[in-house]
């Protein structure tokens, strides 16, 4: 994808990276860790070198129901947040079985463990679009997550990250995040976990939304944000 800005081209792209299997234990396959990033790239004035900065990123776990047959235990071994999702799925066995999403069935699902969007780009439904893009890419049948607002900061390399040691934002921010995921089609499951079926239509809609976003990325405002991030990284590297 490319977007023109004041006579220059900006490029919007999605990069998915497989982080490898969760364990070295060959008897516990079926869980994959992915990072999916939305990047805005361009060239500094007088330079032919591309510089990329991250608009949004998501940590995605793909679980194969046909291969991972002790999911509550496996997810609990990875993190407390994933354990909450695993427990919510396990407590809804009747619903999962009716949709062929239970352990042992020929299906898979994704857990969006962390979805972060740069403050400049929030309010555009980029988070759900990135998650549905990833779900389509990974060919999963459903997506689960915990809609939680987190305190974020800008890292030296220009990406947004979160600090779990500080208090989470207040009730207004939490309600805003929950409403955003509800508008995207997610519904309550249990214990604060929400979920939705992943369909080809949602994947196509996510791709279309990201393509429309490139038009905004090519505006003066989009390029100005990109320049601020590039210069931020340059200052940190001095």
* Tens digits of residue pLDDT in 149-161: 999 999 998 889 9
In whole angstroms, give the CA distance from residue 28 to residue 22. Answer: 9
Reported in sequence order, the residue ranges of 165-211 that DSSP labels E, i.e. its strands, are: 187-190, 193-197
CA-closest candidate to residue 185, choices 116, 135, 237: 135
Q: For a pLDDT cut of 90, what percent of the chain falls above it?
A: 66
**At residue 223, does pLDDT exceed 80?**
yes
CB-based contacts of 64: which residues, under 8 Å, 6+ apart? 29, 30, 31, 32, 108
Helix (H) or strand (E) holding 132: helix 126-138
Overall pTM surpassing 0.75 (yes/no): yes
């Amino acid at each position: 994808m490319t977007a023109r800005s004041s006579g220059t081209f900006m490029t919007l792209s999605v990069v998915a990276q497989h982080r490898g299997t969760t364990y070295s234990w060959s008897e516990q396959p079926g869980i994959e860790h992915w990072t999916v990033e939305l990047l805005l790239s361009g060239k500094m004035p007088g330079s032919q070198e591309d510089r990329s900065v991250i608009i949004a990123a998501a940590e995605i776990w793909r679980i194969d129901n046909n291969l991972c047959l002790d999911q509550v235990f496996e997810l609990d071994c990875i993190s407390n947040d994933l354990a909450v999702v695993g427990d919510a799925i396990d407590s809804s066995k009747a619903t999962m079985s009716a949709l062929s999403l239970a352990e042992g069935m020929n299906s898979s699902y994704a857990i969006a463990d962390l979805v972060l969007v740069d403050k400049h780009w929030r309010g555009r439904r980029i988070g759900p679009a990135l998650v549905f893009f990833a779900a389509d890419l990974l060919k999963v049948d459903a997506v689960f997550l915990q809609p939680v607002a987190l305190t974020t900061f800008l890292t030296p390399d220009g990406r947004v990250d979160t600090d779990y040691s500080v208090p989470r934002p207040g009730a207004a921010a939490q309600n805003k995040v929950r409403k955003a995921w509800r508008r995207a089609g997610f519904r309550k499951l249990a214990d604060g976990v929400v979920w939705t079926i992943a369909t080809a239509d949602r994947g196509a809609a996510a791709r279309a939304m990201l393509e429309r976003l490139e038009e905004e990325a090519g505006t003066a405002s989009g390029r100005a944000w990109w320049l601020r991030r590039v210069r931020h990284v340059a200052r940190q590297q001095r």
